[in-house]
Copies of this chain bind each other. A is one copy, B any other.
Amino acid sequence: MLPTTRRQRTLTRDLRPADPVTLEGFVHRRRRLSAVTFLIIRDRAGLAQAVITKDREQTDELGEETVVRLTGPAVANPQAPGGVELVDPVIEVLGRPAGPPPVELWRPELNVGLPTLLDHAALTWRHPSRQRIWRLAAAAVHGFRSALDDQGFTEIATPKLVAGATESGANTFAVDYFGRPGFLAQSPQFYKQIMVGVFERVYEVGPVFRAEPHDTVRHLAQYTSLDAELGFVRDHHDVIMVLRDVIARMVQSVTPVADGFELPAVPDRFPVLHFADALRLVGAPEDEPDLAPEHERRLGEWARAEHGSDFLVVEGYPAVKRPFYTHPQPDDPRWTNSFDLIFRGTELVTGGQRLHRAEDYRAALAARGEDEEPYREYLATFGYGMPPHGGFAIGLERFVARLTGAANIRESTLFPRDLHRLTP
């Protein structure tokens, strides 16, 4: 059986006057003054200070990022961060860096360029300003799941290795699948629809893969897709209602860790504008098939001015710009029951109602001159009977970039993958 004695460790945020107290963490900063040496200790909860007045030569080997265990009296000191400090603790070294790290983590700001930030991701994520970005991402995912769990959704795990492209042959990664051609899934779209036939309401949080041939600030070769799909909807407005609750919960979930980031208020209902009206509003020609980034920016401004909202749903995108499984707008099939959610002037979420009748799928593929054969197993689902359904997908890293004001989506991705980058 296991030994029963376990040493007690105190996290920095729980530091109170007591004796003895054990802190464990990284030496975030060593400051050697004339009479004392300060060690700022970083653990997963924050920072705390130890003051060394005796045997100060022992700190010669405690360069930044040394991993230590400190045991000694914790004493109130109004000058110390958090109001308490460790005084002349016993110091044990648990892990030793090879030398000074190539980036100085103790500085309040990480003043490094993007390539350095990404090349040394294993180190730079240790900086408090970086940690808080990913803590926000983790909290956002938690909020996504909680909202859907509460609404009767079932989590699924779908194949990332597939026999064909989801929506088009473009931008898919090819895999050698035991000597046969395989592909990485661009989205769980087909599988989440299939699973609506089983559980009615499903979600998945997982990686999706796009072989994006362009180097932009908002595209990645792998990102985390927050996917949801639900059956027995009237139309895409039911999907938008669920999306609104999900976004509200995500924002609520990140609030405790938002530390300085300006969070949006989520309105009780998202304002909705039809695509045709959106074009008129931005003065674009009425036959434009899509919204340009500049249009989205101006619609974001309009939503803020008109509705006091950081969010705007644009519905009714033209059929020509949406995938074949998109449900047409019943009264005018030039448009569709699809939507984008624009957040602070940038598209954040794409969603819509899907076709649910086998014959509609066949007609949609025929109208596009596409063969049914690659979709055989997907199409079979609609032959088994399917309810009206729809869903949406949120790009996690994009959501976090928008919340934190990151200029480049790579800043909110742990280890980004793009045209040029396959490491670290």
The interface of chain A, by Cβ under 8 A from chain B, is: 1-3, 6-7, 9, 24, 26, 43-45, 65-67, 94-99, 101, 120, 122-123, 125-126, 130-131, 134-135, 137-138, 141-142, 149, 152, 154-163, 173-178, 180, 182, 184, 191, 194-195, 197-201, 205-207, 209, 211, 213, 221-222, 224, 232, 234, 237-238, 240-241, 269, 271-272, 356-358, 377-378, 380-388, 396, 414-415, 417, 419, 422-424
Contact = CB atoms under 8 A, between A and B. Distances in A.
B422 A386 contact: no
A194 B424 CA distance: 10
A122 B194 contact: yes
A2 B43 contact: no
Nearest to A208: B160
B384 A199 contact: no
A358 B131 contact: no
Given A43-B200, A122-B381, 19 more contacts: A1-B269, A1-B272, A2-B237, A65-B384, A94-B232, A95-B388, A96-B357, A98-B383, A98-B384, A122-B377, A123-B381, A131-B198, A157-B207, A157-B224, A161-B417, A161-B422, A162-B423, A173-B182, A182-B422
A176 B174 contact: yes
Listed from nearest, the 8 A-B pairs whose CB atoms lie closest are: A98-B383, A377-B424, A97-B385, A65-B385, A44-B200, A125-B198, A138-B155, A122-B381
26 contacts: A1-B271, A2-B241, A2-B269, A44-B152, A45-B152, A67-B387, A94-B232, A96-B357, A97-B385, A98-B382, A101-B385, A120-B380, A122-B377, A122-B384, A123-B384, A130-B198, A131-B199, A134-B154, A156-B414, A159-B414, A160-B209, A161-B209, A173-B175, A173-B182, A175-B175, A178-B221
A157 B414 contact: yes
A158 B413 CA distance: 9
A56 B414 CA distance: 61
A236 to B, nearest CB: 10
A234 to B, nearest CB: 7
A44 B201 contact: yes
A198 B137 CA distance: 15
A138 B160 contact: no
Most buried by B among A155, A200, A422: A422
Contacts of A156: 134, 138, 414
Given A94-B387, A386-B67, A417 B377 contact: no
Nearest to A397: B157
Contacts of A237: 2-3
A424 B159 CA distance: 9
A30 to B, nearest CB: 13
B24 A232 contact: yes
Contacts of A269: 1-2
A384 B424 CA distance: 15
Contacts of A234: 6-7
A29 B191 CA distance: 25
